Structure 1
Amino acid sequence: MARTAGAGRPGHVTLRSKITAVVVMAAALAMALAAVMSYRGVSDLVRAELDHGLGDRMHTVHSLVAAGLTPPPRPGMTDQVLSDRGTVRRLTPDGPRIPVTASALRVARTGQGGRVEDLVVDGIEYSVLTRPLPGGGAVMVAQSYEGAARVDHAFLWRVTGTTAAALALSALLSWFVLGRILRPVRNLARTTARITATRDLSTDLPPAGSDEVGQLTRSFATMLTALRRSRDQQHRLVQDASHELRTPLTSVRGSAELLQRARGRLAPEDEEQILATLVAETAALDDLVRELVELATDRYTDEAPDTVDLTVLAEDTAHRHRARTGRTITVTAEAPLPVRARPRALQRCVDNLLSNAVKFSPQDTPVALHVEGCRLSVRDRGPGIDAADRDAVFDRFYRGSRTQATPGSGLGLAIVHDSVTADGGTVFATDADGGGAEVGFALPPYEPGPDTPAVGRRLRKRNQSE
C-alpha cells in the first residue's frame, strides 16, 4: 500500500504539529500577557487598598491620641507613640515592636512632615506611616503585608494553573480541529502518493470543496487531465510513428538487400532505379523524422508571444515559397488585424499550409493566401477535402482518401493545429469555391493596453485603415 510521502518517518514533523505548535505559542503569549497584566493590576489594587486602610487607621489613631484616648486594636496593625526623645509607648501590646528609624525620629522632633516606610519585622514586611502630634512627638502606625502576600501568592498560583489548563485545552482543541481541517490535504497527499507509486493517472482524486484545499484539488485534477492527455498523445504518436516508419524502412531495407545480393549483376537502368528509390525513401525518412522531432519537442514552446502582422507574415512566406518552387502564390488582405502569438511558431504554421497547398495543387495552378481580420487561409486547386475528413486532416499521420498516393508524413497540419491552439486560436479546413481546398487558422485579436508601445498601436491603426 502506498504511503503518504513523509508520513510516519522518524523525526518527521507534520503540518498538523507545526500549526498546532504555532497556535499554542500564540495562545501562550496572549495568555501570559493577560496574566501579567492581571497580576500587576490586582497587585496595584491590593496595594492601593492597603495604603488607603493605613491612612484611615492613622487618622483614627492620631485623633484619639491627640484627644488623650487609647485607640482600640485592629487586626494586622500595630500602633505606637514616639516621643521627641526617642522613647516608645506601645498602643498595641500584642503587636510587634516597630523599629524607630532616623526619619521617624526626625518627624517626632521637628513636628513636621510625614513618612511612609517599608520595614521587615520578624520576617514580615510592614508598611509604617509616621505623623507628628500637635504637642510634640509622633504617632507610628504599621500595617502587615502578610495577608496581602498570601492573596498575591494565591492569585499567582491560580493564574498560573488556569493558564496552563487553558493552554492544554487549546492544544487539544487545535489538534482535533486541525485534524479535521487538514483531512482533505492528507487524503490528497495519499492519493498523489498512490498515483506516484502506481503511475495510474486515472486514479480519482478526493472530492473538492470550495475552500483553498478544494482549489488545490481542482488544480491537481487539471494537471492530471493534462498529463493523461499528454501521455495518450505520446503513446499514439509512438504507435503512429512506428507504423509510418515501417513502410519506408522496409523499402530501404529491401532495396539495400537487393543491391547486396546482386553485387553488380543488375542492369544499369535497374540499379539506377533502385538507387533512386533509396534516395527517395531516405529523403522521406529524413522529412518524417524531422516532422516527428518538431511535433514531439515543440521547439517554440518557450518562445515569448509577440504582436504579429499576418499580412507581413503572409508576404514573407509567399516570397520564400515562390523562390523555392517557382509557383504562382498570391497574397490578398481585407481589414487585417494584428494578433498576439509566437512569431516563429506561426511562421512554421504558414510554411506548412503553403507546402501542403503547393504539393496538392497541379503545377500550373496558383495558390492563394488570404488574410481577413485575424484569419489566414491558404487556397489550392488540388483534389479538395471530403466533408468527413475536414476535422481528421489535423490528426497526426492522417491522410484523406484523395491524397493517399501523395508523398508526405501527414504531420504538417497536426503541427499547425498544436501551435495555433496553444496560442488560443482555431483551425479550419473546407472545400474552396471552384475546386480545391481552403485550409487556415484564426487567432484572437491583439488588444493593446495603455502600456502597449507606440509601434504596436501604429501597426494596429495602419492595418485597420487598410
Structure 2
Amino acid sequence: MSSSTPTNPPSIDSPPTGPAPTRRFRLLPRGVAARMALTFLLLFGGASALLIGGVYFLTAHALREQVDRNIREDIALLRSAAQDRGLRGLARQLVRQAQMAGENQAVFLLTKADGTPIAGNLTRWPEGVPFQGRSVVARDALSLTEVTDTLPPRGPPRGPHGAGPGWSDPMGAAMPPFPPPPPMPPHRRPPPWESGEVRLVTLSLPSGAHLLVGRDMSLVEGLLDRMAFAMRLGLFVTALLALLGGWVMSRRFGHRLEGVTQASREIMAGDLSRRVPQGKGLDGDDFDQLAANLNAMLARIESLMEGVRHVSDTIAHDLRTPLARLRNRLESLQSDCAEETDREGITQALKEVDGLLSTFSALLRIAQVETGGRRMAFAPVDLTELLADVVDLYDAVAEDAGAQLDTELSTAVTVDGDRDLLFQAFANLLDNAVKFSPPQGSITLRLSVENNTPVVTLSDRGPGIPKSDRDRVFERFTRLDQSRTTPGNGLGLTMVGAVIEAHGGTITLTDTEGGGLTVVVQLRKKTGPA
C-alpha cells in the first residue's frame, strides 16, 4: 500500500480553489416573497401609472384646448365689432376684452399697416412673429404695457371750417369679414430658460391693419406642473403600498408554506409520523384544507409503510430464530458425524444458513437506517481515521487478490454521523472494488475537499457498471450477474446508498479513465464546534 502526503493539507473551512462557477442571470428573483412583491408592484404600479398618466394627459389636453377656444372666442367678438363699428369699434372691443381677461393673461394688439400700435397691451409688434398665422413665443419676448389705444376722439373735426355736410367717421366704417385663422400649432412645453409661453394668433385685416390675439399659458403650465408632482407622489405612494402589501402577503404565504416544507423535509428524512400544520383543517381556508388532505394522505402512507415494515421485520425476526437453531443443530451433527462425505455436506449447509442469516441481518439494518433509527447516535467522526481503518482491514485482502491499493488520506476531515454505519458502507465499497479488480489492478481511495464539501473517491480497474444499471444497483436484491452464481445477496450497495442518504450525502457512479468504475461519495461537513 502506498500513500501520498502533501505538506500543507487543505482545511475544511478553506475556500475552494479553481475557477469560480459561472452564475446564470435570473430575470426574476428566486424567493416567493420577492416574486410576489414584484408582481404586486407591476400590477398595481402599472395600473396606477396608466390611470394617472391618462388623467394627466386628458386634463392637459382639455386645459390647452380651452385656451385655444378662448382665443377663437376673442377673435369672433372682435370680428363682430369690426363688422358693425369698423376700426374704432374693433379697437374699443379689443381694449374691453383685454381689461376683462386681465392684462397678465391676455395679449392684444391692433396696429396700422406700418406697425404703429393703435390699441392693445403691447408697445410693439413682437419680433419674428408673422402678420398672418399662429405661433408660440416666450413671454419674455413680449413688451407688455397697460391697455391703451391711440385713436382720435370720435366726432367731426373742430375748427373754423368744421365738418361739411354728409361727414362720416372713417374709423367707424364697417369692415369686411376677417380671414379665417390658420390651424393652431401643436402644444409644447417652453424651454427651461423661458419664463412661460404665449400662444398667438395674428391676422392681416382687409383695411391693412394687423391684429394680434394671444393667451398666456403660464397658469395652465403651472397647474399642470403641480398636478404632475401630485401624481408622481401618488404613484410613488401606490408603488410603496404595493410593495408593502406584496411583502406582507408573501410573508404570510411563506410562513404557511414553510410549515409544509419543514414537514416534508422531516418526512423525507424518515419520520413518517410528521404532519403538516393544518390550522382549522377542512373548516379553514384553502391552505388549511390542503394541509388536512395532505395529512390524511400521509397518515395512509404511514399506515401502509408501517404494515410493510412490520411484515418484513416479523419475517426477518421469525426466520432468524429457526435458522439459528438449524445452524446449531448442523454444527452438532457435524461434530458427531463420522463420514467425511456427510461432514462436507453439513459444512455446505452451514454456509447456506450463514448466507440466509446475513441476508436477514442486512435487511434489518437497511430498514433501521432508512427509518432514521440510528440518526440519534450521530456524533463527530474523523473521516480520515475511519477510512484508514477500512484500508487496514482490506489491505491484506487486496494483496492476496493481487490488487494494488493506493490511498490519499492526508486531508483532515470531520463529519457528523454514525461511525459504525459509515465504516460498514465504505467497507462494502472497498470490498466490491477488491472483489472485481483484475490481477495486478490498481485501486485508489482518495479523500479531498471540494467547494467546502468532503469528497471520498474510490476508483478501480474492474469491469465497471453499465450506465443503464447505475441507478438500479442501489435497489434491494439487484445483481448484475443474471445467473446469480457469484457470492452475495444484492444488498451491499443498497446498504451503502441508505447509509449515505441518511448522512445527507450523495453517491455517484462514473467511469474510470482507462476502464473501471469510480465511486464518488459527497458528505456534509461537521457543523458546530468539534
TM-score (norm 1): 0.48
TM-score (norm 2): 0.43
Specify which structure has the bigger relative contact order, considering alpha-carbon pairs within 8 angstroms and separated by 6 or more residues. Answer: 2
